[in-house]
Amino acid sequence: MDLGNGPGEDFLFMHRKMIYMVRDEYASKTVPIIESWKILPRPNTPQFSYSEQDDAANPGKKVFRLNISDSGFMVPPAHPGSNGLKFLKSPDYFWSVMARVESLFTSQRHLSGLSLGALGNLLEFTIHNQMHMRWSSISRDPKSGQPANRGDFDFDEKWDDPTYDYLGDFHSSHVNPIFWRLHGWLNDRKEDWYNAHEAAHSGEIERFDYQGISWFKPGKWVQVSNPFYWPEHDHHHHQMDEEDVTVKLRVMEIIKAAADRSQPKADTLLGHPEAKSRALCGPLANNLR
Ligand SMILES: [Cu+2]
């Protein structure tokens, strides 16, 4: 498997762009952003954590307030009969696999030997997919309330209902606030990666602005100069041929039509960026459900 290839960089760039677009939307509506997880919530983290803060109403006094980002995040049960998912959601799995992978991706020694593409591919196919599934609840048909999975090409309007926030489906996962916490965590690993390289061999990675996003110049550790965000006919990186781009554009049109039609709904602002990511990330939950 080629770990250092372009798609790993695309994965990271597309999500960073998406996170910043959504944070801008929140800022423009003066809504506080959904904070990233600083560390993955442990199976034994208390569900409600309170921290001491200054009391604005009584200067000099302290109050205890609920601190969401330090609180635990309950793990919803797996669909009965899905043993693979049951294992993935277990504390054993968290401690024996996820916590170890997490420590690799925060380790300076490990990060300073990875290219950006390898970082993206490794993150996506290990902890990213596991986080989506760990915190997903049972997928339900929003109309009937019965357990059901949306087909990959089923863009029926009923799936646009904001109550459909299944984390295992790219159509809906971004409606779930946990999506932004876990993707915020992933996004922060790029800064760890950059800092690890700076510490190990300062100057080998240069930063620049790409499409309004703070990114990394191609060089020893970075392969792609124009990470994928939306298919275009005029640049041909990753050996994408014309026919391939045409097919991708068609798929994007279908997805965009589905996203546009939910305009009046609350989830629209968040809907576009992740709809775009469908074409990039590939099926996430298929092998787990
Ligand atoms: Cu994701």
pLDDT tens figures, 149-160? 998 888 889 999
CA of 61 to the centre of ligand 1 (A): 41
Higher pLDDT, 231 or 103: 103
For the chain, what percent of residues have pLDDT higher than 70?
81
Range 44-63 average pLDDT = 90
pLDDT of 267 higher than 70: no
Handedness of CA 80, 98, 9, 23 (dihedral sign): positive
Residue 1 Cα to ligand 1 midpoint, Å, equals 21
Instruction: State the average pLDDT over residues 281-287.
Output: 41
Dist CA 220 CA 28 (whole Å): 38
Average pLDDT, stretch 49-62?
90
Beta strands in the chain (DSSP E): 50-54, 62-66, 207-210, 213-216
Provide mean pLDDT across the span 256-266. Answer: 57
Task: Please give the Cα distance from 256 to 233 (Å, whole number).
Answer: 18
> Which of 176, 169, 242, 178 has the alpha carbon at shortest distance from 36?
178
- Amino acid at the residue 255: I
For residue 274, how far is its CA from the centre of ligand 1 (angstroms)?
9
Query: How many Å lie between the centroid of ligand 1 and the Cα of residue 183?
Result: 6
- Per-residue pLDDT for 239 more than 60? no
pLDDT score recorded for residue 277: 41
CA–centroid distance, residue 172 to ligand 1 (Å): 11
Q: Which two tokens stand for residue 116?
A: 């950006």
Q: Which residues of 49-74 are buried (b: 16+ CB within 10 A; e: fewer)?
A: eeeeeeeeeeeeeeeeeeeebbbebe
pLDDT (tens digit per residue) in 67-111: 877 788 999 998 888 888 999 999 999 999 999 999 999 999 999
Residue whose C-alpha is closest to residue 183's, from 120, 90, 266, 111 = 120
**pLDDT for residue 142:** 93
* Residue (of 275, 250, 247, 251) closest to 261 by Cα position: 275
Q: How far does residue 119's CA lie from ligand 1's centre (Å)?
A: 15
Contacts of 77 (CB under 8 A, 6+ apart): 89, 137, 138
Tokens 């205890």 map to which residue? 64
Mean pLDDT, residues 14-35 taken together: 93
Distance, in Å, from the CA atom of 70 to the CA atom of 259, rounded to the nearest integer, reads 33
232 vs 237, residue with greater confidence: 232
Rounded to an integer, what distance in angstroms lies between the CA atom of residue 129 and that of residue 167?
10
Q: Is 39 a residue whose pLDDT tops 70?
A: yes
What is the pLDDT, as a whole number, of residue 46? 87
Ligand 1 centroid, distance to 133 Cα (angstroms): 10
- Residue 249 pLDDT greater than 90, yes or no: no
Q: Are 10 and 228 in contact (CB under 8 A)?
A: yes
Distance from the alpha carbon of residue 128 to the mean position of ligand 1, in angstroms: 6
- pLDDT band for 257, please (50, 70, 90 cuts): confident
Whether the per-residue pLDDT at 19 is higher than 70: the answer is: yes
The Cβ-side half-sphere exposure at 196, using a 13 Å CA radius, reads 21
CA 146 – ligand 1 centroid, Å: 24
224 CA to centre of ligand 1 in angstroms: 21
